[in-house]
Chain A
Amino acid sequence: MKPGRGLVVEVKEKTCILFTADGRFLEVPLPRKGTEIGQEIIINRSLVSRIIPFLAAASFLLTFLAWALFNLFVPRAAAYIALDINPSIELGVNEREYIISARGLNADGNWLLQKVRVVKLPLEEGLQKIIAGAVKYRYLEPGAGNIILATVTDTGSEFDIEISEIYQFIHKQVKYQGISAELVVAEVDKELYRQARDKGVTPGRYLLQREAGRKGIHITDKELQTAKIRELEKKKKIKASELVKNRYNGEQPKQRVEKKPALSKDRVKPESASSHEDLPRDGIKGAGESNPAKRAGLEEGRAKGDGQNKLRKHGKEKDKSVQHDRSAGDKERSRAKVNSRAQAR
């Protein structure tokens, strides 16, 4: 019994009826060269059934291609940097440290991002603009107890953004603006970042909630989303810096295996240069000149360049600890100048 053959038993206008070798009656399209009753023709499988395997393969391929193209052309953020000034903002950064996405995580964040365009800018410039914007729109106020909470999350394995670098960027700009602010920078792993994103808050805030929870202090989701960090600190009697720091103390010397140990030798820890340095007396002037001590430290590790240039990474070693600047005395000293500047404006 060979399927696929049939005797023509009736010829119609466009089709013919076959009596097949396996005992079926089938109506098939008329063969191109025509036929007559009694002829045997080979039945072609219908077009659809013939191309189904190809369709399946093609659609699979297409899906794959689309996925590949998507990955190729839509830049994937290599790292996310989340800021809580209070406007909560999340910046996506690509491998070249350019900002490729920016979104606000609360109303203030959205509003600020509408005023300050940072996408496609180098990270340093973007951070500067955001800080400047925050100052301009009175999110950061001179004299008040400002706090900036920043978290860094690497998404890719190949790209590491130096948390000290972020610290530098923000720190410099804060000083340039003549503002004193408590600066808490932490590195956050992907898992925590994801959990925070699911909640719609910055990883920093999420971290606060979690760490406070561990201490038995409950922060509701709503509080977490809306309240300013300083308010939270007051209300719950917590210290953001301590909470975040605690977390890092917990799993501290989790330093990454250094990829280039040679580099780390002459690496200058920007932290040491920055966190204990004195606030410069001439804090009002440009960042380039504002901080000779720090700059001197940095200069060792990198090639020449002015303050607006992107800071190069000094090595692969990751400083996991929170860099935390609370040089209160320095602030006091500079405050007079800052205030006078603010009034002058």
Chain B
Amino acid sequence: MLFTDSITSCLQKIKEGDEEAREILIEEAKPFIAKVTGRLCGRSLSWERDDELSIGLIAFNEAIDRYNEKQGVPFAAFARLVIKSRVTDYLRKESKWHHTNRESLEQLPEVSANPAENAVCWEKYLAEIANRERKEEILAFQRRLSELGIAFSDLVHCSPKHRETRQRLLAAARYLVEQPSLYKELLASKRLPLREIMLGTGMSRKVLERGRKYIIAVAILLYNRDEFIYLNAYVGQALGDGGR
């Protein structure tokens, strides 16, 4: 839910006072929170021991309340930003700074009591961060692809022009992602497990062969939803829910 379009309606419900929805969302987001916080701290954390996770959880809750769709940032990205900021604050306070990564030096501007005062500054900051993160994400995506010998220009040539074909290839990619063993096989062999996908989706070898690179690219995006937040959000409907 966190990375799909249904997050919008879920947040709407929470804003209208649906506490149950909030609980569900937070529960679902726990792995995501752990991942973000863990990366920031540079170690794996456990919910029983580490305060950082609690801080992250509170920050996530804060993000739910403060998120504004109109700012044009996907909720997951926004939540990550808030979590990073709050956890960094906490670490600084606790003098555990030396544990943290250098990448997270920037921080959210202090939110003062008067939101109007901060609004302009905050939005500008958010947009800046979002731009940078988006770019980093795209570059990361590019690296992932090149590991498998795929360049963006290859994708231009093999990305299907017809919506129907595209939907079928997306379905194939989804199938691939839903079978973790297949995805691992893909990463290990750098080859698309055509036979399995053929069996699983009933698509012809020719279609799959032609869209091979496209399927792999989409599968990478879908599999790493918590990492490629912006890209997933951008093409969310097309990739995630298109054929369902």
Residues of A with Cβ closer than 8 Å to B?
1, 7, 9-10, 17, 19-27, 36-39
Contact = CB atoms under 8 A, between A and B. Distances in A.
B93 interface: no
Interface of B: 131-132, 134-135, 137-139, 141-142, 152-153, 155-156, 159-161, 163, 166, 170, 214, 217-218, 230-231, 234-235, 237-239, 242
A10 B145 CA distance: 13
A38 B138 contact: yes
Query: Which among A24, A26, A36 has the greatest number of chain B C-beta atoms within 10 A?
Result: A24
18 contacts: A1-B237, A10-B142, A17-B153, A19-B138, A19-B235, A23-B159, A23-B170, A23-B218, A23-B238, A23-B239, A25-B155, A25-B156, A25-B217, A26-B159, A37-B138, A38-B132, A38-B138, A39-B131
B138 A9 contact: yes
A25 B132 CA distance: 21
B156 A22 contact: no
A24 B166 contact: yes
A19 B135 contact: no
A10 B135 CA distance: 10
Contact of B163 (A9, A22, A26, A39): A22
Contacts of A21: 234-235, 238
A7 B234 contact: yes
B238 A37 contact: no
A20 B237 CA distance: 12
Nearest to A5: B234
Given A17-B156, A23-B170, A36 B135 contact: yes
B238 A9 contact: no
B133 to A, nearest CB: 8
Query: Which among A20, A23, A36, A39 has the greatest number of chain B C-beta atoms within 10 A?
Result: A23
Given A23-B170, A23-B235, A25-B152, A9 B242 contact: no
A320 B139 CA distance: 92
A25 B231 CA distance: 13
Please provide the 3 A-B residue pairs with the shortest distance between their CB atoms, ordered closest to farther. Answer: A38-B135, A23-B238, A25-B155
Contacts of B137: 38
Query: Which among B131, B142, B156, B242 has the greatest number of chain A C-beta atoms within 10 A?
Result: B156
Contacts of B142: 9-10
Nearest to B145: A9
A17 B150 CA distance: 14
A9 B170 CA distance: 19
A11 to B, nearest CB: 10
